[in-house]
């Protein structure tokens, strides 16, 4: 599936909830879901369809895929990787997604959204254990140190993002030193660390039947 380049507010309205795809705007009255909470996108948005069992599972998969900003091919690869590891597949899937470097940059407050976090990583603003890394899909490890490079610490987009971090809170598995623009992986993320409403078992059931 190709990369989505349309209006991201449509995606939130399609799922009927905030996916927090536009950073600070999602916390204001300008949020499309806040303005029209019961209306989907498009001319037929006034009436939300009733989904079949398959449709319910498809929508859950699409919702989580959009939250983390992945293509279908990327998302399926994470599922296949999780299914090959001993443990609960759905919980392992969420853990793998949380360990993506772009997600960690977002969680640390260095970016207002995961999309912005990917740009920050790709533009070379991030150091991992003192070395520049521009791969958003990098899987962080225990005790990894993630920091903003010295030359990028004055960027307005990064400092503004740090200012609004309090609105969503810092994940328990991370530690942050705002003054030094540095974060550390205290422990690997677990399913309980993700408070966003996700029914991962529906995703497992979706891929089990297609």
pLDDT at 9: 56
Q: What parts of the chain have a pLDDT lower than 70?
A: 1-49, 210
Domain segments of the chain: what residues? 8-97+195-208, 107-188
At 151-164, the pLDDT tens digits run 999 999 999 999 98
Facing residues of 183 across strands? 146, 176
Output the CATH code of domain 8-97+195-208. 1.10.1050.10
Is residue 78 within 8 A of residue 97, CB to CB? The reply is yes
pTM attached to this predicted model: 0.81
| pLDDT attached to residue 195 | 87
Closest CA to 20 of 35, 29, 31, 6: 31
Q: Which residues contact 179 (CB under 8 A, 6 or more apart)?
A: none
Does domain 107-188 fall under CATH 3.10.290.10? My reply is: yes
Distance separating alpha carbons of residues 86 and 40, to the nearest angstrom: 39
């Amino acid at each position: 599936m190709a990369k989505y380049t349309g209006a991201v507010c449509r995606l939130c309205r399609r799922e009927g909830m905030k996916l927090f795809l536009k950073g600070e705007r999602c916390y204001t009255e300008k949020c499309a879901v806040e303005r029209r909470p019961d209306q989907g996108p498009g001319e037929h948005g006034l009436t939300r369809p009733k989904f079949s069992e398959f449709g319910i599972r498809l929508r859950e998969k699409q919702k989580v895929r959009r939250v983390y900003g992945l293509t279908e091919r990327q998302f399926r690869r994470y599922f296949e990787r999780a299914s090959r590891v001993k443990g609960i597949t759905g919980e392992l899937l969420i853990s793998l997604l949380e360990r993506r470097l772009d997600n960690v940059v977002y969680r640390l407050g260095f970016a207002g959204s995961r999309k912005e976090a990917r740009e920050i990583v790709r533009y070379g603003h991030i150091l991992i254990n003192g070395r520049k890394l521009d791969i958003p899909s990098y899987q962080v490890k225990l005790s990894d140190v993630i920091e903003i490079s010295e030359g990028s610490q004055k960027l307005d987009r990064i400092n503004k993002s740090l200012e609004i971090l309090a609105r969503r809170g810092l994940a328990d598995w991370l530690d942050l030193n705002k003054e030094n623009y540095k974060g550390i992986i205290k422990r690997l993320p677990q399913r309980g660390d993700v408070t966003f409403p996700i029914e991962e078992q529906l995703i497992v059931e979706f891929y089990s039947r297609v």
